[in-house]
A = this chain, B = another copy of it.
Amino acid sequence: MAAFDQKGFIIDLDGTVYLQDKLIPGAVEAINQLYEKGHKICFLTNNPTKQNSAYYHKLKDMGIKTVKEDILSGTYLSALFLKRNMQEGDLFWSEGEDALTFELKAAGLPMASSPEMASKAVLGGGPSFSFDYLNNMVQAYLSGAEIYAVNPDPSCPVENQLIPDTGAWVAAMHSLMAEGEKIEIIGKPSKNAAETVIQYLNLPPEKCFVIGDRMETDILMAQDFGMNSILVLSGVTKKEDLLTEKKIKPDYVLTDISELSNLKIV
């Protein structure tokens, strides 16, 4: 009998597993089957506003047999990434929704008592954003902190509206930083996200498959870092978009995640 060929699946959430609160038909069965076969799985979303436990409960309620640690929400991914790259004496500062600070603290990262004391400061988006949030990041930066952002997206769709996301605040910060200085992005499609998930799954990139609905995040990250990519057409990318897109090419294209079992790789 041939040895089981264990693979890693990095699965996006909104547009891939569900659309806001509506489950994609067949998603539960497709994902549970991966777990049952013994594959390694993590869920990866750029959303900077929620703890991984929020997604855990949502997925459990939908019938997906996952564990909390497998859910690399923007905030939890940030905590994992920063912990992995922590240096002696590092003190952290965060600006965003409470979930971001919660995940950093839960990961045991030592927090600074003021922005000026921080060696690393992390920016996340969300509806609580204020002048003070940006100003605190500016003061951290002017005091020498390295600046990170949970995700690069300027906007996100919420209830059929497009609202500002972390990337808009990243642009505001960049306008205040010295020429050539850049904020390090932690989420998709960055190298930091790719390395963090590959390390979490502990498999070589060529054994990993990114499943997602966004060309410029999910598919681009897979392409850039030697992982395989599976585009699902259940979210923002439509079949006709594939004709106009020249640089980003998914390895597989599925109508939705329910078709995953049709692929030989599973």
- Which A residues form the contact surface with B (CB < 8 A)? 126-132, 134-135, 138-139, 142, 154-155, 161-164, 167-176
Beta-carbon contact of A167 and B161 below 8 Å: no
Instruction: Check if B176 sits within 8 Å of A155, measured CB to CB.
Output: yes
Instruction: State in angstroms the CA–CA spacing of A131 and B169 once bound together.
Output: 10
Alpha-carbon separation in the docked complex, A160 to B130 (Å): 21
Q: Which chain B residue lies CB-closest to A163?
A: B135
Query: Can you give 9 contacting A-B residue pairs, CB < 8 Å?
Result: A126-B131, A127-B131, A130-B131, A134-B168, A138-B155, A138-B163, A142-B162, A154-B175, A167-B175
Cα–Cα distance between A142 and B126 once the two chains are bound (Å):
19
Closest to A165 in B: B176
Chain B residues lying within 8 Å of A163, measured Cβ to Cβ, are 135, 138
Q: How far, in Å, is A169 (CB) from chain B's closest CB?
A: 6
Q: Which residue from B126, B130, B171 sits with its C-beta under 8 Å from A172?
A: B171
Q: Closest 4 A-B residue pairs measured CB to CB?
A: A171-B175, A129-B131, A168-B172, A154-B175
Kindly provide the distance from the CB of A147 to the nearest chain B CB, expressed in whole angstroms. Answer: 14
Which chain B residue shows the least CB distance to A127? Answer: B131
Q: Is the interface of A mostly helix, strand, loop or mixed?
A: helix
User: Please, which residue of chain B has its CB at the minimum distance from the CB of A177?
Assistant: B154
Choose from B139, B154, B174, B176 the contact partner of A176 (Cβ within 8 Å).
B154
**Residue contact B126 to A138, C-beta cutoff 8 Å:** no
Q: How far in angstroms is the closest Cβ of chain B from A1?
A: 54
Are B176 and A164 interface neighbours, CB within 8 A? yes
Contacts of A161 in B (CB 8 A): 139
Tell me the bound Cα distance from A170 to B175 in angstroms: 9
User: How many angstroms between the C-alpha atoms of A129 and B129 in the bound complex?
Assistant: 9
**How far is A130 from B163 in the complex, measured between Cα atoms in Å?**
13
Give the distance in Å from the alpha carbon of A185 to the alpha carbon of B24 in the complex: 45
What residues on B are CB-neighbors of A168 within 8 Å? Answer: 134, 172-173, 175-176
Nearest chain B CB to A60 CB, angstrom units: 30
A168 to B163, CA, bound (A): 17
Instruction: Output the least CB separation between A249 and chain B (Å).
Output: 22
Q: What is the distance, in angstroms, from A196's C-beta to the closest C-beta of chain B?
A: 24
* Nearest opposing residue in chain B for A142, CB measure: B162
Report A176 CB to chain B, min CB distance, Å.
5
